[in-house]
């Protein structure tokens, strides 16, 4: 059962349920993938049917932003809550540290994935990181082949949206991985180059505001968020829930 929010169908799961499902997918042969759309990504999907299909075909579609949760409420189909991609990733890291399945980190500026790997190995003893690569490369086939040669079971694909979802779709199978997760700027957070909002801000649903204060260049992207909620209200008004 999924909940449609402006054309993207979200799984209605708690964080714990999402992590448990992710851990199962990581152990299951064949490629699965997880997407973590925020309002910006939902808006991108409204402009491209192919991208919308790609998101909806994911094995898990998790509501990353508080805006998605508000929109769900406005549409009369509330979700259990927000499942931020980074929290899903952290839960999964705990599972991988226990199981020993190999993880590959792809994305970010040169040096970011390596630094993230160093930090994660400290935080999650037992975590097996089998390789890293920055997100600024030309030869997609070569990178997919490197991931395969490294023996990765799980790949965190952090190339920003929509690039990361398209990369999974076009090159995921060639990596031989069983689970790929599109995680935007997560490696920047794990590397310590971008700080997450303090927990109190997160609980109040104000992570976006903290991010805006620290990365004011995002103002153009974020100005679209109120419009997203207006559009959700309009969709409800038209009875298309």
For 77, phi then psi, to 5°, come to -130, 70
Q: Which of residues 47-76 bind ligand UDP (CB under 6 A)?
A: none
By beta carbon distance, the residue nearest ligand UDP is: 135
How far is residue 216 from each of residues 25, 34, 44, 160, 210, measured CA to CA in Å?
37, 29, 21, 18, 10
The alpha helices in 29-111, defined as continuous H runs, are: 39-47, 49-56, 66-74, 85-99
**In this chain, which of 108, 131, 162, 172 binds ligand UDP, going by CB under 6 A?**
108
- Whichever of 164 and 231 has its CB closer to ligand UDP, that residue is 164
How far is residue 184 from each of residues 19, 22, 24, 188, 189, measured CA to CA in Å?
18, 17, 22, 9, 10
Binding flag, residue 107, ligand UDP (CB under 6 A): yes
CB of 115: closest distance to ligand UDP in angstroms?
12
CB of 184: closest distance to ligand UDP in angstroms?
2
The alpha helices in 151-218, defined as continuous H runs, are: 163-175, 186-191, 199-203, 207-214
CB of 185: closest distance to ligand UDP in angstroms?
3
Binding flag, residue 37, ligand UDP (CB under 6 A): no
Q: What would the x/- binding string for ligand UDP be over residues 125 to 164, using CB under 6 A? A: ----------xx---------------------xxxx-x-
Q: What would the x/- binding string for ligand UDP be over residues 174 to 203, using CB under 6 A? A: ----------xx-xx---------------
How far is residue 144 from each of residues 74, 114, 138, 170, measured CA to CA in Å?
41, 18, 12, 10
The binding site for ligand UDP (CB under 6 A) comprises: 107-109, 135-136, 158-161, 163, 184-185, 187-188
């Amino acid at each position: 059962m999924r909940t449609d929010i402006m054309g993207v169908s979200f799984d209605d799961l708690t964080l714990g349920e999402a992590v448990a499902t992710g851990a199962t997918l990581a152990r299951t042969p064949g490629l699965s993938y997880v997407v973590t759309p925020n309002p910006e990504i939902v808006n991108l999907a409204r402009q491209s049917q192919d991208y919308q299909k790609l998101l909806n075909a994911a094995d898990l579609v998790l509501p990353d932003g508080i805006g998605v949760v508000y929109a769900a409420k406005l549409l009369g189909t509330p979700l259990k809550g927000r499942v931020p991609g980074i929290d899903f990733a952290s839960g999964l890291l705990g599972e991988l540290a226990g199981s020993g399945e190999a993880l590959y980190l792809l994305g970010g500026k040169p040096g970011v994935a390596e630094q993230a790997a160093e930090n994660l190995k400290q935080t999650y003893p037992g975590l097996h990181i089998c390789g890293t690569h920055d997100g600024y490369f030309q030869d997609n086939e070569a990178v997919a082949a490197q991931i395969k040669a490294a023996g990765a079971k799980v790949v965190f694909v952090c190339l920003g949206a929509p690039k990361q979802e398209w990369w999974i779709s076009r090159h995921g199978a060639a990596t031989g991985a069983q689970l790929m997760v599109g995680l935007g700027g997560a490696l920047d957070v794990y590397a310590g180059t971008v700080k997450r909002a303090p927990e109190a801000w997160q609980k109040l649903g104000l992570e976006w505001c903290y991010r805006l204060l620290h990365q004011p260049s995002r103002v153009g992207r974020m100005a679209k968020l109120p419009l997203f909620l207006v559009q959700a209200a309009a969709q409800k008004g038209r009875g298309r829930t």
